[in-house]
Amino acid sequence: MDKKVIVITGASSGIGAAIAKLLAEQGNQVVLGARREDRLQQLSNEINQVGESTYAVTDVSDLASTKALAQTALDEFGRIDVWINAAGLMPQSPFSEGRVKDWNTMIDVNIKGVLNGIESSLSTMREQKTGQYINIASVAAHNTHANGGVYSATKAAVWMISEALRQEEAAAKSGVRVTVVSPGAINTELVSKVTDKNVQEGMEAFYKAFAISPDRVAKVIAQSINMPADTGINEIVLRPTNQIG
């Protein structure tokens, strides 16, 4: 496999951290972004025992901060081959509770964070005439349920943004691939950050019964990166075998 420079947002835990470890083990240079510096530093040190990484403290809801992450990749490794938008959060609740702050945070991180990632790296990929976006949506992009309206809306937006970007880059023959990944229940820190305690309890029980390891998501993402450049894996949906919805 060719060595690639891979930027990962949301790399401080869960799916992003699992992807970073696997891709570094496969010989790629990984650039980690998230807000918790202690976690990034620890993961980067761990990866640097066997591979190559660097990190930048990043808030993806802020364009300047996200651009600084891209600049770190360019300064350290000279290019950006893959940009993985994994930063996200899922504080679900019923509309009647009026948790406006949570709605805005999900919109800022889950949607604007992805747009900021694209804006921070697309011109570089176009100049290189090669690149790939991996945007983490969710099975919640395909279906919704009570309490999940805003989260599902943000993930459906990620799906739509990804498909439009894919069509634009294909038409431009830019060599930029787009992959949208929709996981089901994955065992990460996601549920621990749900602010509505009743909703959180229900989710914890569900995740305890069904959730699978983030390594599974890392494996399918690595597969999409390792495909020959003339082939894009555009959509991946994966969930625990026994998860119904």
- Judged by the rule CB under 6 A, the positions of this chain that interact with ligand NDP are 9-16, 34-36, 39, 58-61, 86-90, 109, 136, 138, 183, 185-186, 188-190, 193
Q: Closer to ligand NDP by CB, 28 or 187: give it.
A: 187
CA distance 134 to 203: 26
Q: Which residues are annotated as catalytic?
A: 151
- In the block, tokens 């993402």 appear at 221
Q: What are phi and psi of 112, to 5 degrees?
A: -65, -30
Q: Closer to ligand NDP by CB, 8 or 122: give it.
A: 8
- In the block, tokens 């406006």 appear at 100
Q: Closer to ligand NDP by CB, 89 or 150: give it.
A: 89
Q: Closest distance between ligand NDP and the C-beta of residue 140, in Å? A: 7
Q: Closer to ligand NDP by CB, 5 or 34: give it.
A: 34
Structure token pair of residue 226: 């390792």
| 212, 187 contact by CB (below 8 A) | yes
Q: Which of 76, 85, 75, 34 is nearest to 56 (CA)?
A: 34
Q: Which helix (H) or strand (E) holds 223?
A: helix 214-226
Structure token pair of residue 235: 């959509």
Q: Which of 75, 15, 10, 14 is nearest to 222 (CA)?
A: 15
